[in-house]
Structure 1
Amino acid sequence: MKGIKGVFKYLFLVVLGLFLVIGGPVFGENKPGDFLEAGRVFYQEGRFFDAVKVWQQGEEVYEKEGNFVKQVLALSYVANGYEALGNLGPAFGAIEQGLKVILNLEESQEKSQVYAKILMSQGSVQLARGEAEAALNSWQLAEKVYASLDDKVGVLGSQVNQAQALQSLGFYRQAKNLLENVYEAQKLQPDSLLKASSVQSLGVALQKVGDLQKSQEVLEESLAVLLRLNAGNEQGAVLLSLGNTARGLKDYSRALDYYHKTAEIARDNLLKIEAKVNELSLLVELEKWGEAKILVEEIKPEIGSLPVRRSAVYAMVNFAQSLIKIPDAEKNLPEVAKILANAVQQAKSKQDRRAESYALFQLGSLYENTQQLKEARSLTLQAIALAEAISAEDILARSQANLGKILKEQGEIAAATNAYKEAVETLQTLRRNLVAINQDVQFSFQESVEPVYRELVSLLLDPAAVPDQQVSQENLKQARLVIEALQLAELDNFFREACLDVKPQQVEKIDPKAAVIYPIILAEKLTVIFSLPARPLQYYSTDLAKPEVEKVVDDYYQSFNILFPTAKRLELAQKVYHWLVEPAEEELAASDIQTLVFVPDGVLRNVPMAALYDGQKYLIEKYSLAITPGLQLLPPQILDKSNLKTLTGGLTEARQGFGALPAVKLEVENISSEVPATVFLNQEFTEKRLQERLLSSGYSVVHFATHGQFSSNPEETFILTWDEKIKVREFENLLRSRSREENPIELLVLSACQTAAGDRRAALGLAGVAMRSGARSTMGTLWSVQDLSTAKLMSEFYEQLTLTGVSKASALRHAQLSLLKQDRFSHPFYWAAFILVGNWL
């Protein structure tokens, strides 16, 4: 997604609009040549260096004139300009100077107005410096000042900024609630261009915290205000934002329509080109090559004549990225190089170091693709130096990874490994803000983040890359940590926020009878690291290209259809068993391992491990099994069998387009016969009723017997209640009465859900539910199983769960084996779908 203006830039222009467009007691009337107004024009055009120069001139003039209020305001604008340029030191210096001046001013409304403005600027710079708590304090103080002035727009603007700081601190629910309050307050404001602009900035902020549905609603309201005002010129930017939100929602046809409309109505040529570049990148993503090539020819004549500003640099770079991805891109390479070189020069001419760094990185990537490695290395090192100087971690991480790629191709493996390590470290520091990166810069998780982790693992596990041809324990430990970090990064990307802060646990301290298996899908091989209690890490590999692994896994998943030939299914099950488990068999037996804990990677998350086959037995016949996104668990704890109080809800009747589940009644009756249970069925099974009950009584187990779906899209990951779908992001609200650390739910069971058909990353949704619920363990299903067999399995599971010394993983194993032994339910379709995610004790 590209072309979205930053939230802070919008709010800065909103505040500028208050003083410079509307006028007021601080400044009186604007005059031609006014320094503040001239700087504002430059800033709006993306000419940040020119804006800073003008405001600095104004600051000197105002100081000589004794107009200290205007001097302070000029200094706050200088800070905003320096921040936009990435020069945070001078930005903070301007803030400090302004605060010193304002302390000497007499109390007045004008002083309060400017004090609030400089506090807003201070918070923006503090957040850019990574000081989120200080930024929050600055904006909270600004809100108080605005409230004392009865400045409703200022209050709302400071609250939008506070939401950004809260998100950076990890308080996502508070950020979302604050933004929703802002939205409700905005509705009460009279229609104006200022309201439309601030509502649009709110829509962008909601997009950044991952609330795409609300973002769309808010942006549509902004557009409605502009339509009521008959303000045609201002509609283009909102339509562009709507297109980006629709794209985030994977509503691609609507996104393309918004981009078309933006290009049609935009009078500003740069906005028109931005819309076309966004449309082109989406067409490329969708592999609509014919339409993409037509659009390329429309953009080419215009891309080189854009005004010199940052957004133009980004548009050129993003256009070049799309050109490279189009089939037969070789013929475009000279033109791509020319476009990128022009982008570098434009950024340099305006001393815009962030834009220059981004353009240099892309030009270095192009030279690497064409094997001009010396030039690629030089350009990439320049990009790194600039990105480090201005703390542009998003550009820095990608440049470090590109340097690693170049060094590897030059045969400098140790240096390449170090470069990739630095890239991963940078990405880890970015973890909370990865989704809030300036979206004028193309930043795809699957293209820009995931490969960095995998390439580092590949280098760490490459015997040819070390002198003795043996992978060291240190490298194995690092590789394991990197792949676990990737697992969490994928969940962050799924939620569009950093979803969990955790500490690794040692296997032997969790369970001395458990082994942990890490299958890792690399470009040309499938590697498995396995960890045995009190033993060195070990690994083995199979030479397999990633597409081959994915094809076999997809076929294996499809083989659980009852009509699929048994012999072929067992052949596929044995092949995957050979990859993942067979090389470790002797070690597992020698260590008397009883539980296998898989940390599955990529498409392997969709693999029903229970049905892997060694030629004679299924894996579930030999071991209890569990799945985890890594040993990144809540503090492990054995289930307290004396307190198996269960809250059970479900649907037996058809609802919201989903079929009836008549055996659910038998399922909940069986559960109630095994453990103390409170039951809500059908009309009683609502989110409100569930939440009320959770608030009033402590339940160690929560069991939902209802339809649901796990998807790689959080908007499509839900469980069905009587009156609505509870989406994955709402689980935290539903279960918020429970403390994650002190009193978590021990087990969440979702017995009738399924992974989305054809979605290779769908099991992310199940992992996401497990994380979001705050439960120590979550049991779910990889496909929608027959409800009578599920009722029987659940009855056996809860009976086992009450027995002393039986873990959750062992209880599930016995329940699965009970179906396997019945002729009617012996096919793995009935029992293999059930998986336990998280703590298996």
Structure 2
Amino acid sequence: MLLTACLVVIESPVGANVPSKGNLYKGRYQNSNLIVSQADVDKLAQQGQKLYQTGDFASAVKLLQQAINKFELSGDTLHQAISLSNLSSAYQKLGLWEDADLAVATSLNLLQRLNSSSENLRYIAKALDVRGHLELARGQTQVALTTWKEVGDIYKSLDDTYSLINNRIGRAQILQILGHFRQANQVLNGLEEIVNSQANPILKAKLLRSLGNIVAVIDDLKESSRLLESSLKNAQDSGSNTEISKTLLSLANLARIQHRMPVAVNYYKQAIERSNNFDIRLQSQLNLLSLLIDVKQYPDVYLLISQIQPELNYLPISRPGVNAKINFVHSLIKLSSEAGENRKLFKSISSSKPAQILAKAIKDARKLKDRRIESYAIGTLGELYKQDKRFYEAEKLTEKALFIAQTIHALDITYQWEWQMGLLLQQNGKTQDAIAHYKNAIETLQGLRKDLISINTDIQFSFTQSVEPVYRELLELLLQEKVPNSENLKLARNTIESLQLAELDDFFRSACLEPSEIVDTLIEKQDFHSAVIYPIILSKSLDVILKVPGEPDLLHYKTAINKEELESTVAKLREYLKNVTRTADVKRLSGKVYQWMIKPFETELAKSGIKTLVFVLDGELRNIPMSVLYDGQQDKYLIEKYAITITPGLQLLDTEIRQKLALNVLTGGVDREISVDGKTFPPLTNVERELKNIQSEVSNSKILVNQKFTEVNLHNQLQTIPFSVVHLATHGEFSSDPQNTFILTWNELLKSRKFDNLLRETNGYNSFQDPNSIDLLVLSACQTAQGDRRAALGLAGVALKAGARSTIATLWSVDDESTADLMNKFYSELKTGVNKTEALHQAQLATLDREKRPYFWAPFVLMGNWL
């Protein structure tokens, strides 16, 4: 995938077929008597590089091949090697990996024969850079990182600050892809100071923009915004409209990620006005068009379409030009599906004839011999015909686009055409064929896990628009029958497990979790009294799948209910749960959910001797505690019948049997009113009592309160002693946005990524699967963000990423006196030897005996391994 901070002239590849290498490197020349001047050879090489930069990679290959043969004939080894490096880059763009590998290997071999002058070292670094991009494109991420480390060492020895900075930016992105955020930040640490030491404002603007873009990928959006603003100031100081417009475009894209849509619109408009560069202006216009359609500002949309359409006629035949045509038609397709009352107006202004635009794009792609972009254009035409209900033609086009994408191993396009084929076949009533294509699409997505995080900016992925629907639509197909067959039930269970993992990847912006292929190990080999419940929210039903130990087949029950009604019920229930006066409403609504999810399986649960229910929750259901589901017939909450745990998926659980760990607890918290980062947090007056109660139950414990509760002290304690339990009684909030997920310390809001790196890396732990990792993390005064429908994803994210086997947290901030009592009981039970789930179960029951209102006992949930 494209590395946004490319180190030299090379970008990483994906592409199509051109003629193979033949005798390219042997220098065999049909007319060996031809005399060629040095100027002619240089001109060939320069033309080849120019064609590369305009996106005509196939033509660039031809000219570079000629230049290489002529450089070899004239004995110019240095320029032969340089051209071979550039040829490798072009091959990479065309997806010709073996040719690219041979070209760069030959280049390096030639360069290493030359003397070790500074100039030659610089070219070796550039050739290694090309090899690093090739390794990255072929999935050899760790190898690429090593190669780029070698490149960085060369630039450091040459005192080449500019190249070294770009190298470090690239290495940071690779570390981010690998999930090593702390190391990525360390690589970036100090770069801004080095950049600011540069005198040239244009150079500073470029470097700060690169740095801001990579920091956004690493997900520190606030810092990214600051760096880009600094880049803009330097660009303005330089007076370069090109640099100003490029940074404005980056700021607009960042604002869009932050959901600051009016700000993004303003930045896009400024970029358009300031740009004297056709490509930047057109890219800004296309991005603005897409955004305006998202926010339904249709009058502005139609005006912008009329401005963009004529400009498409002046585009050169190049990959960027073909991409622009495709992106424009994508926006028209989206507009057509969303225009509603404006459909007539849309049709009246759609004289652009999107099919003709795509036909021209396909023709241009073929002239370029760029199979990747040809596949994308053909598949988009198939999407357009699907929209127009020309299903036969759409299927044939999609089939062709899929064949090309598979041939060149362009996985990020392949999954889209597999998905599109599934949709088309479903509409044609070919259900089994449709299921097969959806399965292929998901398998391809799973192969793309790491790349989805730093995907080519030509094809930006939005999880909710471009990834999640693939899983959802397959689930609809698999569970469309009232009684699905056994094979479809198993596939549906595996699909919802995979969707949970994909959502977490999206939350982390990193594929850092390693799933297990065997999902039932815990209940089949270690805990025969636990059942797993998968409620799956479909458009017109709630389907619940049950797995009980010892049973080869999954059980299933379908309740006919619209998604909107279910989500409305759950949202109201969550609202009432936080109001101590609405217990009757809680019973009424939670009783409905009980009827949908538990009632159908009561007999089977009783017959199987089930004592613990493990929920893999979907969507809005994550935002309510399962303990509160109410059986009106027996006048009992679910917690009165079963111990309960939550997990984002069995494939993510540590299944290793461990020796019981001695209780060794690090506790910390803040009990005073405190203001941090412009937020004021009320006092938690019972925190000290809570922590001292734990100390009385667990003699081997350490307390950090108020001024002592800082990241530095946490780090030092965790580095010194391998604690089995970390218990934090402090304000915190879980959100679907990692930037708004935090734990409050005495002097800062410890954001999600910084917090989980603190827990995982100070002890040298890699994950919750490490036998020495923290067994239990307790966050006893946190809450999920109000109004955030995916807020519980933040809870799951903190729980998993922190590297703890299990996490106890609260869905809302509860009375801290009640919390202190419940936690005292929890540790008392834990000390007797029962597992974590049962200890929490007994603590909640004890609280319920004193206080019937769910507000006080229901918010506590255990996530992860319950044993």
Report which stretch shifted further, 57-66 or 188-197. 188-197
Q: Which amino acid aligns with 1:253?
A: P
Contact 1:317 1:343 in 2 (8 A): yes
Matched, 1:752 2:769: no
Normalising by the residue count of structure 2, what TM-score does the alignment of the two structures yield? 0.89
Give me the whole-angstrom Cα distance separating, in 2, the residues matched to 1:409 and 1:484. Answer: 26
| Counterpart residue number, 1:519 | 535
Contact 1:357 1:383 in 2 (8 A): yes
The equivalent position to 1:386 in structure 2, one of 384, 399, 404, is 404
| Counterpart residue number, 2:17 | none
Write the deviation string for residues 604-652 of structure 1: whole angstroms up to 9, x where unpaired. Answer: 1112111111112111111111000111212355784742433232333
| Residue pairs, 1:20-35, within 5 angstroms | 34-35=43-44
Write the deviation string for residues 644-679 of structure 1: whole angstroms up to 9, x where unpaired. Answer: 433232333233312222222332232222223322
- SS of residue paired to 1:655: strand
Matched, 1:629 2:648: yes
Write the deviation string for residues 84-114 of structure 1: whole angstroms up to 9, x where unpaired. Answer: 2333333223223323433443444443222
Write the deviation string for residues 290-342 of structure 1: whole angstroms up to 9, x where unpaired. Answer: 44344334333334433333233333323322333331357447733333333
Task: Quote the RMSD (CA, aligned, Å).
Answer: 2.7
Contact 1:652 1:663 in 2 (8 A): no
Q: Residue 181 and residue 36 in structure 1: after superposition, are their counterparts in 2 closer, same or farther (change >3 A)? A: farther
| Counterpart residue number, 2:253 | 244
Instruction: Report the CA distance between 1:743 and its aligned residue.
Output: 1.2
Give me the whole-angstrom Cα distance separating, in 2, the residues matched to 1:302 and 1:14. Answer: 27
| Residue pairs, 1:476-625, within 5 angstroms | 476-503=489-516, 504-506=519-521, 507-536=523-552, 537-562=554-579, 565-615=582-632, 616-625=635-644
Contact 1:515 1:595 in 2 (8 A): yes
Report which stretch shifted further, 656-665 or 203-212. 203-212
Report which stretch shifted further, 380-389 or 189-198. 189-198
| Counterpart residue number, 1:778 | 807
Normalising by the residue count of structure 1, what TM-score does the alignment of the two structures yield? 0.91
Q: Residue 11 and residue 570 in structure 1: after superposition, are their counterparts in 2 closer, same or farther (change >3 A)? A: farther
- SS of residue paired to 1:629: coil
Structure 1 residue runs of 4 or more that deviate by more than 6 Å after TM superposition:
29-33
Contact 1:652 1:664 in 2 (8 A): no
Instruction: Report the CA distance between 1:30 and its aligned residue.
Output: 10
Q: Residue 341 and residue 32 in structure 1: after superposition, are their counterparts in 2 closer, same or farther (change >3 A)? A: same
Instruction: Report the CA distance between 1:496 and its aligned residue.
Output: 0.6
Report which stretch shifted further, 582-591 or 178-187. 178-187
Q: Which amino acid aligns with 1:672?
A: Q
| Counterpart residue number, 1:356 | 374
Give me the whole-angstrom Cα distance separating, in 1, the residues matched to 2:643 and 2:310. Answer: 64
Give me the whole-angstrom Cα distance separating, in 1, the residues matched to 2:40 and 2:230. Answer: 34
Q: Residue 368 and residue 639 in structure 1: after superposition, are their counterparts in 2 closer, same or farther (change >3 A)? A: farther
Give me the whole-angstrom Cα distance separating, in 1, the residues matched to 2:400 and 2:327. Answer: 20
Contact 1:641 1:801 in 2 (8 A): no
Instruction: Report the CA distance between 1:775 and its aligned residue.
Output: 0.8
Report which stretch shifted further, 168-177 or 58-67. 168-177
Matched, 1:789 2:818: yes
Q: Which amino acid aligns with 1:158?
A: N
| Counterpart residue number, 2:419 | 401
Q: Residue 375 and residue 624 in structure 1: after superposition, are their counterparts in 2 closer, same or farther (change >3 A)? A: same
- SS of residue paired to 2:514: coil
Q: Which amino acid aligns with 1:501?
A: E
| Counterpart residue number, 2:290 | 281
Contact 1:259 1:279 in 2 (8 A): yes
Write the deviation string for residues 548-607 of structure 1: whole angstroms up to 9, x where unpaired. Answer: 322222122122142664443322111111111111111111111111010001111112
Instruction: Report the CA distance between 1:447 and its aligned residue.
Output: 1.2
Instruction: Report the CA distance between 1:177 and its aligned residue.
Output: 2.2
- SS of residue paired to 2:674: coil
| Counterpart residue number, 1:21 | none
Instruction: Report the CA distance between 1:168 and its aligned residue.
Output: 4.1
Give me the whole-angstrom Cα distance separating, in 2, the residues matched to 1:344 and 1:435. Answer: 28
Matched, 1:737 2:762: yes
The equivalent position to 1:208 in structure 2, one of 217, 226, 229, is 217
Give me the whole-angstrom Cα distance separating, in 1, the residues matched to 2:655 and 2:192. Answer: 39
Seq. identity, %: 43
Instruction: Report the CA distance between 1:154 and its aligned residue.
Output: 3.0
Give me the whole-angstrom Cα distance separating, in 2, the residues matched to 1:119 and 1:770. Answer: 40
| Residue pairs, 1:260-339, within 5 angstroms | 260-326=269-335, 327-328=339-340, 329=343, 331-332=346-347, 335-339=353-357
Contact 1:11 1:198 in 2 (8 A): no
Segments of 5+ residues of structure 1 without an aligned counterpart are 16-28
Q: Residue 290 and residue 574 in structure 1: after superposition, are their counterparts in 2 closer, same or farther (change >3 A)? A: farther
Contact 1:5 1:440 in 2 (8 A): no
Give me the whole-angstrom Cα distance separating, in 1, the residues matched to 2:846 and 2:39. Answer: 82
| Residue pairs, 1:755-834, within 5 angstroms | 755-804=784-833, 806-822=834-850, 825-834=851-860
Report which stretch shifted further, 204-213 or 633-642. 633-642
Give me the whole-angstrom Cα distance separating, in 2, the residues matched to 1:350 and 1:9. Answer: 23
Instruction: Report the CA distance between 1:43 and its aligned residue.
Output: 3.3
Instruction: Report the CA distance between 1:35 and its aligned residue.
Output: 3.5
Contact 2:198 2:204 in 1 (8 A): yes
Contact 2:415 2:444 in 1 (8 A): yes
Give me the whole-angstrom Cα distance separating, in 2, the residues matched to 1:293 and 1:664. Answer: 58
Instruction: Report the CA distance between 1:192 and its aligned residue.
Output: 5.5
| Counterpart residue number, 1:128 | 137
Give me the whole-angstrom Cα distance separating, in 2, the residues matched to 1:743 and 1:522. Answer: 40
Q: Residue 282 and residue 693 in structure 1: after superposition, are their counterparts in 2 closer, same or farther (change >3 A)? A: same
| Counterpart residue number, 1:26 | none
Give me the whole-angstrom Cα distance separating, in 1, the residues matched to 2:440 and 2:859. Answer: 39
| Counterpart residue number, 1:180 | 189
| Counterpart residue number, 2:468 | 450
Contact 1:820 1:826 in 2 (8 A): yes
Instruction: Report the CA distance between 1:131 and its aligned residue.
Output: 2.1
Q: Which amino acid aligns with 2:604?
A: E
Give me the whole-angstrom Cα distance separating, in 1, the residues matched to 2:595 and 2:357. Answer: 50
| Counterpart residue number, 1:671 | 694
| Counterpart residue number, 1:105 | 114
| Counterpart residue number, 1:44 | 53
Instruction: Report the CA distance between 1:837 and its aligned residue.
Output: 0.7
Give me the whole-angstrom Cα distance separating, in 1, the residues matched to 2:203 and 2:825. Answer: 63
Matched, 1:432 2:450: yes
Q: Residue 269 and residue 352 in structure 1: after superposition, are their counterparts in 2 closer, same or farther (change >3 A)? A: same
Give me the whole-angstrom Cα distance separating, in 1, the residues matched to 2:827 and 2:39. Answer: 75
| Counterpart residue number, 1:152 | 161
- SS of residue paired to 2:459: coil
Give me the whole-angstrom Cα distance separating, in 1, the residues matched to 2:296 and 2:797. Answer: 29
- SS of residue paired to 1:559: helix
Segments of 5+ residues of structure 2 without an aligned counterpart are 13-37
| Counterpart residue number, 1:346 | 364
Contact 1:599 1:628 in 2 (8 A): yes
